[in-house]
Structures are given as structure tokens and as C-alpha cells.
Amino acid sequence: MSHRLQGTGAGARAPVAPGALDWAGRDRSDGRGIGSLDPRARILGAVAFAVVTVALSSLIALLLALALAAGALAAARLPAGPTLRRVAMMDGFILVMLVLLPFTVPGEPAFSVFGWPASWAGLERAAAIALKANAVVLMLLSLVGSMEPTTLGHALARLRCPESLVHLLLFTVRYIAVVEDQYRRLRRAMKARGFRPRTNGHTLRSLGYLIGMLLVRAMERSERILQAMKCRGFTGRLMLLDDLRYCRRDALFALMLLASLGLLVTVDALYVGLA
């Protein structure tokens, strides 16, 4: 899979030259769906959804949350395949932890594997974690991951994130593609000289030199960048050229989101009350 950093939304569907990053400000989808919403509303929405979802406890409410996230995925019109693959990769990371849980949470045994009893409580716990993790990641990818990375930086600046942190983010986003290009060039040069990664000391030393070289070049590049910026009178403020404005769509989105979160909390409270 490609690790190129770009919004998986409109940017990924538009024909982009290989290796080129697309820095158009807002999502260039045709003014409908999630792409037309204010980026700040999307960030705040994702955070609110994550906090509420993590706080839920009943599986019914969590299933609803996952359905909401799936709805957001559809509304963001992200390519479903690659997005779900990413979510599946995340699931792969936590699989071991989830599989262990039924055997470590004490409770009424549901079944046993090689004499190890698995408890209902543990199964429920594992299911809850899996649902929470998937719902939050899906919502995050749909609402925020569909933005251009620079838009994310600008929106964070407008949300009063510290300026130096936003600058750091914007610089990082800008130079990931450049450094990755450099990395690929160095890797190609190594390959041309017969380097094939294996489990041995030579591989580790070569990769270490490669990363060291990347860092040295990054540092030298940053010195040139600073000189070029000073030459143009950089005073420490990056101009944020966009003009974000809340409009009726954003209010509608906020209202819908609040209603959905209210529904989640209500269902959760009802279900827990009944149980």
C-alpha cells in the first residue's frame, strides 16, 4: 500500500501525478457532502464523537456509534476499499490483545480452548473495545482524514492551537513527500548496488547509514529553507490565506451531530438501566 500522505478523499480520486502532493486548500469535492463543511466543525465533531464513544458502555449503543461512523464514511465519499483496509490494519495491531481478553477477565465461562475458560464478560469487553476503536477511527478518517493536510493545519491554527505547533505540523506535512522522495532515491541506489534487506547485521548497518544520511540531508535542507525564508522577510508568522467561515451547513452538521450523540448517550443510559 502507498504511504503517501494525502487526503484520501477528493485528492485520491482526482488524477494526481505519482509522487506529487496535492496542496489545494479545501477539499475539492463538488461542494456537497462532508467536503463542503468547515474543517473546524469536522475536527471538533470527530473529537466530540470520540469522547462520547469511548465513554459508552453498552454494545447496542456502540453498534449504533459504528453505524454512525459508517454513515459518515459514506457521506465523505471516501474510497471504501482503501479506507476499510486501513481500519483492518489497525484491527490487526490489536487482535492479540482482544483475543487474550476473554481468557483474562474473570466471569461466567462461555467456552474453553485447551482447558482455558473464556468468560462472557471478557468477550463483551473485547467486543466493546473493538467497536469503540473501529467507530472512532472510521469517523476520524471520514471527517478529518478527508481533508488536505494543510487544511488540517490551518483549521488547528484557527482553533487556537499554539502557533509554533501548527508551523511544525505544516513544515512536517510539506517535507514528508520531499524526504520520502529522497529515501526512495537512496533505496534505489542501494538496490542498484545489490542491497537486499535480510535479517543480518549488514542490513541493519546499511539502514542505519541510510537514516543517518537522511537526517544529515534533512538538516542541510532545513538550513537552506531558513535562509530562503529569511531572504523573503519571514518574521515568524505563516500567513493563513484561507478564510474559514461558519455557514448554515456547518450549523446543520453540528445540530445533527449533537442529536446523534444525544441519541447514543440516551440509548446507552437506557440499556445500562435495563441490564
Partner 1 sequence: MHIVDGALSPAVVIGGTALAVGGIALGLRSLTLERIPAAGVLSATFFVAALVHVPIGPSSVHLIMNGLAGLVLGWAAFPALFVGLVLQAVFFGFGGLTVLGVNTLNIALPAVLVWLLCRRGVTRSDARVAAVMGLIAGALAIILTALQVALVLWLSGDEFLPAAKLVVVAHLPVAVIEGLVCAAAVTLIHRVKPDLFGTLATPPRAA
Applying the rule CB under 8 A, the residues between 204 and 243 that interact with partner 1 are 204-216, 218-223, 225-226, 229, 234-236
Q: In the bound complex, what is the minimum distance in angstroms from residue 272's beta carbon to partner 1?
A: 16
Stretch that binds partner 1, among 17-25, 29-37, 163-171, 263-271 (CB under 8 A): 163-171
Stretch that binds partner 1, among 14-22, 23-31, 203-211, 251-259 (CB under 8 A): 203-211
230 or 247: CB nearest partner 1: 230
Q: Is 175 a residue that touches partner 1 (CB under 8 A)?
A: yes
88 or 247: CB nearest partner 1: 88
Q: In the bound complex, what is the minimum distance in angstroms from residue 213's beta carbon to partner 1?
A: 6
Q: Which of residues 245-264 bind partner 1 (CB under 8 A)?
A: none
Q: Is 168 a residue that touches partner 1 (CB under 8 A)?
A: yes
Q: Which of residues 105-134 bind partner 1 (CB under 8 A)?
A: 105-106, 122, 125, 128-129, 131-133
Q: Is 9 a residue that touches partner 1 (CB under 8 A)?
A: no
Contact 143/34 with Cβ under 8 angstroms? yes
Calculate ∠ Cα 11-144-241, nearest 5°: 70
Q: In the bound complex, what is the minimum distance in angstroms from residue 67's beta carbon to partner 1?
A: 16
Which one of residues 171, 242, 263, 271 is an interface residue with partner 1 (CB under 8 A)? 171
Tell me the sheet residues that pair with 113: 116
